[in-house]
Structure 1
Amino acid sequence: MIRALAVSLLLAASPAALAQTSAAPRAAEPAVTLTLRPDLHHAGPPFEGWGTALAWFAHVTGGYPDPVREKLADLFYGPDGLGWTIARYNIGGGDAPETKPYLRPGADVPGFWRRPTGAAGADWWNPADPAMWDWSADANQRWWLDAIKRRVQAPIFEAFSNSPPWFMTVSGRVSGAEKGTDDNLRPDQEARFAEYLATVVERLQKAHGITFRTLSPVNEPNTPYWFAANTQEGAHWSPARQAMMIDAADRALKAHGLQTVIAAPDETAAHLFVRDWQGYPAATRARIGQLNVHSYGTVHQTAVRDIARAHGIRLWMSEDDTPLDKDPEHFDGIATPLAFAEHVVYDLKRLEPVAWVFWQAVERRGDGKGDSTGGGSNWGLIKMAYTPAAAAEHPIHVTRKYWAMAQFSRYVRPGYRLVPVGDADTVGAISPDGRRLVLVHVNGGVVPRRLGIGVPGARLVERIVTDATHAATSVSAVPLAEPRSITTLVVALR
């Protein structure tokens, strides 16, 4: 695979990123030997790909100068970048214009409503009145829809909501109710909110010539995260209110004649997903065309897998990012990329999803400009300033976690099928024609590992490595996982 563009961008953004560093002399660790045994007879369904939620970073970067935003789109969705094929578009709720700004940079995704002059209270909105819609809203995030469409032959788009518009909420804010355990959608507003979501889906499909395959009407619903003093959009939904919203959204999509189906519940962790699912009536479950779960918690992941299998519903890991706790911001550091890669391996092995979707591909630099983390963090794959500045003031810092992502997304491609591998640190996938096996192995320790491939007649044709000195680099084709590295083995089977 050609990687000249992505490598040149890394060098331009961070000259030291690919530099070979000389390690201090140390005693050599003896190697251990592992035999990787993929079960090629129990391949899963076709994998659909990798991607990101657009939301905050797209709301910011979609307004950057053309050379900058086009470069970013190439890094994520271009054939010489990560080769992503999935995008989750955030339908903003939007606070009242008179509300003093309080949301974190990028999180103020605008809604598509327009309040008439002189309208008061919360019941003025009439979705049947064209004057009450603002279809010029959210131009920056919508730019990304067109950019992805230009780069991906068959992109998969999902629309999702974090909060209803302010005038449908109890608190009057899109950040949540006064208490994080209280539902923030006003009673009996499900149908109005569903009409808002379905109308936006229909209008954006026509305007951009795309299809939203799914609509996720609630996000991380059964958590205490979303309260009025929070700095991002969010809403609590009890399982009963989730079910009502799912039913209403499905009815609205059908009333608009759309083929878009419901994805739910987009819960923050697997154990809460199971709790939500248990609270849904059978009729609500039947309306769900895709199961979405985030992997910020990994307890009961196989329980989610079993629900998807038993009900025959497609399963996505629809949101995650994994910065290592207390790991300071470091564009070229390897600690967080290793933790991230290990997390991806575990998600694929335990959830067995057909897609894995990142949260925010671009995060703010820890430069102290409105960043509550002070010294910064290792969230995101690329770090930039979230400022509407001139072109020269938009340096793109490609982190080593970007290259950890490349170890998966460049080689486990749409149409491949995940296969069980009898090693905790390895995930495997087989190509549609059955001739190529991809094994991604994470060695987070200090002991080198010799990797045997337990498939008769298998032949290693390429080894790709990300570690402290390599960035998704093709190296000598020997079955070895160096210490503190992510290794992708491309294996010919026939």
Structure 2
Amino acid sequence: MIRALTVSLLLAASPAALAQVPVPAPAPEPAVSLTLRPDLQRPGPPFEGWGTALAWFAHVTGGYPDPVREKLADLFYGPEGLGWTIARYNIGGGDAPETKPYLRPGADVPGFWRRPAGMLGNDWWNPADPAMWNWSADANQRWWLDAIRRRVKAPIFEAFSNSPPWFMTVSGRVSGAEKGTDDNLRPGQEARFADYLATVVDKLQKAHRITFRTLSPVNEPNTDYWFAANTQEGAHWSPERQAKMIDAADRALKARGLKTGIAAPDETNSHLFVRDWEGYPPETRARIGQLNVHSYGTLHQTAVRDIARAHGIRLWMSENDTPLDKDPENFGGIASPLVFAEHVVHDLKRLEPVAWVFWQAVERQTTAAGDGQSGGGNWGLVKMAYTPASDAEHPIHITRKYWAMAQFSRYIRPGYRLVPVDDEDTVGAVSPDGKQLVLVHVNAGVVPRRLTIGVSGAKVVQRIVTDATHTAASGSVVPLAGPRSITTLVVALR
């Protein structure tokens, strides 16, 4: 098991140094033979990379002492970490100051509005009045924007919203309407909400010297689980209201002369994505520069792929985290990493997206002393107690899922192109110059697999393994996938 890393140990060890000893040459043992046949004649568009949503962990960890937050940023965006290049910034809605706190730790992302003293009701906000804005809000999450910009040569930033501010909602809460099937944005508020989002995008771009390439104005919109009793921000949007909001957001961005495009619909799964898309009029579809879909359900993923292809729109898998259901928290366990890795492989094969974005990289530790909150099983790549920034120590627990992620993100790099592979458990990508092939193979079974590359002249030059005893460790180039393992093969092509 990987032990908790205290601040002092983190300062002394890089992510690369944390990998275990090299994988030895496999001993002779019964195995099945499997030939992997990548179709190098059908490469996809250039892959843009990997990343995470900054909600909610960045709202917590961005306020931690420098040694802790810098180490976290290195783990995810540093060249010796996961090498991520994408970040999704959450523009908070924000509840009324008098509302009793009810959102889960980290989920209470503040809004950028300010309500002057004596203002009552929900029609007081005037976006043209500078006194109605609070540009010092959300300092912790914004710290991550600067940290990523310092580490990544050409980062891709996206802004996204989970809910309008409370005073634009029907329920008066950012967690949703009273019923999960009811839209929570008050009728006729689309333009005001769009003005809010576009103004925040504009101000943060200038303040942090970054570019938000896209703005996603709705999140998992056509679901039935955004209701007022929730403990996180969320809002239901019917396809008709989604279209109105997309139109309004696009107009607001253009009115400010911003080049930021619209991403939509950030639906929770492909089945609902297709339903949303069917409800958009042609003029709304034309405003969308990027299609975002989550993969919390895998039905109809190829339908989403075909929509993106047919309309010539860039496609992201913009949110997922998949631990094994009811798997007890175990930083070193292999069960959840295998489920996660299989999910990534299938997403890449079925959706063929140009980016794959994690939900939140740091999750609360279930058993954290003094945290006072239940955690999330094996959600997240790093586990920490969400404790006050003033605490003396903030132990970081790197889970084996982190190393499962490394099997993909360290080797399928921006500019690589996904290629079809005729094996359900393998995803492939070819380098920009066509001289290198990367294959990531997941063997969730108990029988070893001897792998053959079905490409003339192909030569395995590196083999990287994460299993129950190794963490993204390099070793023998014998192309064998051990039981219950994730194996990355780097292959030289003629």
Q: TM bucket by the smaller chain? A: over 0.9
Point out the more displaced range, 229-238 or 370-379: 370-379
* Conservation of the 8 A alpha-carbon contact between 1:328 and 1:375: no
Q: Work out whether 1:273 is the aligned partner of 2:276.
A: no
- Residue 328 of structure 2 corresponds to 328
Deviations 1:464-494 (A, max 9, x none): 0000110000010111000000000000002
Using the alignment, how far apart are the partners of 1:318 and 1:375 within structure 2?
Answer: 23
Note the C-alpha offset of 1:143.
Answer: 0.2
Point out the more displaced range, 349-358 or 359-368: 359-368
Structure 1 residues 340 and 146 mapped into 2: Cα distance closer, same or farther (>3 Å)? same
- Residue 175 of structure 2 corresponds to 175
Point out the more displaced range, 371-380 or 175-184: 371-380
Note the C-alpha offset of 1:388.
Answer: 1.4
- Residue 25 of structure 1 corresponds to none
- Residue 25 of structure 2 corresponds to none
Q: Please give the TM-score of this superposition, normalised by the length of structure 1.
A: 0.94
- Residue 24 of structure 1 corresponds to none
Using the alignment, how far apart are the partners of 2:157 and 2:148 within structure 1?
Answer: 10
Note the C-alpha offset of 1:281.
Answer: 0.3
Structure 1 residues 324 and 370 mapped into 2: Cα distance closer, same or farther (>3 Å)? farther
Q: 2:360 is aligned with what amino acid? A: Q
Note the C-alpha offset of 1:390.
Answer: 3.7
Using the alignment, how far apart are the partners of 1:429 and 1:125 within structure 2?
Answer: 50
* Conservation of the 8 A alpha-carbon contact between 1:68 and 1:391: no
Using the alignment, how far apart are the partners of 1:229 and 1:185 within structure 2?
Answer: 16
Using the alignment, how far apart are the partners of 1:408 and 1:123 within structure 2?
Answer: 48
* Conservation of the 8 A alpha-carbon contact between 2:20 and 2:471: no
Q: 1:385 is aligned with what amino acid? A: A
- Residue 289 of structure 2 corresponds to 289
Using the alignment, how far apart are the partners of 1:370 and 1:76 within structure 2?
Answer: 26
- Residue 394 of structure 1 corresponds to 394
- Residue 264 of structure 1 corresponds to 264
Q: Please give the TM-score of this superposition, normalised by the length of structure 2.
A: 0.94
* Conservation of the 8 A alpha-carbon contact between 1:173 and 1:228: yes
- Residue 360 of structure 2 corresponds to 360
The residue correspondences of 1:76-95 to structure 2 (distance < 5 A) are 76-95=76-95
Using the alignment, how far apart are the partners of 1:84 and 1:134 within structure 2?
Answer: 30
- Residue 382 of structure 2 corresponds to 382
Note the C-alpha offset of 1:152.
Answer: 0.1
Deviations 1:360-390 (A, max 9, x none): 0000000267979847500000000111144
- Residue 348 of structure 2 corresponds to 348
Q: Work out whether 1:107 is the aligned partner of 2:107.
A: yes
- Residue 24 of structure 2 corresponds to none
* Conservation of the 8 A alpha-carbon contact between 1:418 and 1:430: yes
Helix, strand or coil: the match of 1:171? coil
Q: 1:427 is aligned with what amino acid? A: V
Q: 1:141 is aligned with what amino acid? A: Q
Runs of 4+ in 1 over 3 A off after TM superposition: 8-13, 17-21, 368-376, 389-392
* Conservation of the 8 A alpha-carbon contact between 1:55 and 1:107: yes
Helix, strand or coil: the match of 2:126? coil
Helix, strand or coil: the match of 1:344? helix
- Residue 473 of structure 1 corresponds to 473
- Residue 215 of structure 1 corresponds to 215
* Conservation of the 8 A alpha-carbon contact between 1:429 and 1:439: yes
- Residue 37 of structure 1 corresponds to 37
Deviations 1:328-357 (A, max 9, x none): 000000000000000000000000000000
Using the alignment, how far apart are the partners of 2:76 and 2:420 within structure 1?
Answer: 28
Using the alignment, how far apart are the partners of 1:56 and 1:148 within structure 2?
Answer: 16
* Conservation of the 8 A alpha-carbon contact between 2:175 and 2:229: yes
Of all paired residues, the percent bearing the same amino acid is 86
Note the C-alpha offset of 1:225.
Answer: 1.3
Deviations 1:131-152 (A, max 9, x none): 0000000000000000000000
Deviations 1:249-299 (A, max 9, x none): 000000010000000000000000000000000000000000000000000
Q: 1:68 is aligned with what amino acid? A: V
Using the alignment, how far apart are the partners of 1:399 and 1:419 within structure 2?
Answer: 29
Helix, strand or coil: the match of 2:347? helix
* Conservation of the 8 A alpha-carbon contact between 2:321 and 2:379: yes
* Conservation of the 8 A alpha-carbon contact between 1:10 and 1:397: no
* Conservation of the 8 A alpha-carbon contact between 1:270 and 1:300: yes
Structure 2 stretches lacking a partner, 5+ long: 22-27
* Conservation of the 8 A alpha-carbon contact between 2:19 and 2:473: no
- Residue 239 of structure 1 corresponds to 239
Note the C-alpha offset of 1:392.
Answer: 3.6
Q: Work out whether 1:338 is the aligned partner of 2:347.
A: no
Deviations 1:300-354 (A, max 9, x none): 0000000000000000000000010111000000000000000000000000000
- Residue 52 of structure 1 corresponds to 52
Helix, strand or coil: the match of 2:56? helix
Using the alignment, how far apart are the partners of 1:42 and 1:356 within structure 2?
Answer: 20
Structure 1 stretches lacking a partner, 5+ long: 22-27
Q: 1:155 is aligned with what amino acid? A: P
Using the alignment, how far apart are the partners of 2:392 and 2:336 within structure 1?
Answer: 29
Structure 1 residues 328 and 29 mapped into 2: Cα distance closer, same or farther (>3 Å)? farther
* Conservation of the 8 A alpha-carbon contact between 1:265 and 1:273: yes
* Conservation of the 8 A alpha-carbon contact between 1:10 and 1:398: no
Helix, strand or coil: the match of 1:89? strand
Q: 1:311 is aligned with what amino acid? A: H
Q: Work out whether 1:96 is the aligned partner of 2:82.
A: no
Deviations 1:109-132 (A, max 9, x none): 000000011000000000000000
* Conservation of the 8 A alpha-carbon contact between 2:177 and 2:235: yes
Q: 1:230 is aligned with what amino acid? A: N
Using the alignment, how far apart are the partners of 1:433 and 1:206 within structure 2?
Answer: 36
Using the alignment, how far apart are the partners of 1:265 and 1:372 within structure 2?
Answer: 35
* Conservation of the 8 A alpha-carbon contact between 1:11 and 1:18: no
Note the C-alpha offset of 1:228.
Answer: 0.3
Note the C-alpha offset of 1:30.
Answer: 2.2
Using the alignment, how far apart are the partners of 2:66 and 2:11 within structure 1?
Answer: 20
Structure 1 residues 358 and 370 mapped into 2: Cα distance closer, same or farther (>3 Å)? farther
- Residue 185 of structure 1 corresponds to 185
Deviations 1:195-253 (A, max 9, x none): 00000000000000000000000000000111000000000000000000000000000
- Residue 460 of structure 1 corresponds to 460
* Conservation of the 8 A alpha-carbon contact between 1:198 and 1:252: yes
- Residue 423 of structure 2 corresponds to 423
Point out the more displaced range, 433-442 or 362-371: 362-371
Deviations 1:2-25 (A, max 9, x none): xxx9xx968989xxx97989xxxx
Note the C-alpha offset of 1:393.
Answer: 2.1
* Conservation of the 8 A alpha-carbon contact between 2:19 and 2:472: no
Q: 2:124 is aligned with what amino acid? A: W
Using the alignment, how far apart are the partners of 2:380 and 2:147 within structure 1?
Answer: 20
Q: Work out whether 1:446 is the aligned partner of 2:446.
A: yes
CA RMSD of aligned residues (A): 2.2
Structure 1 residues 349 and 18 mapped into 2: Cα distance closer, same or farther (>3 Å)? same
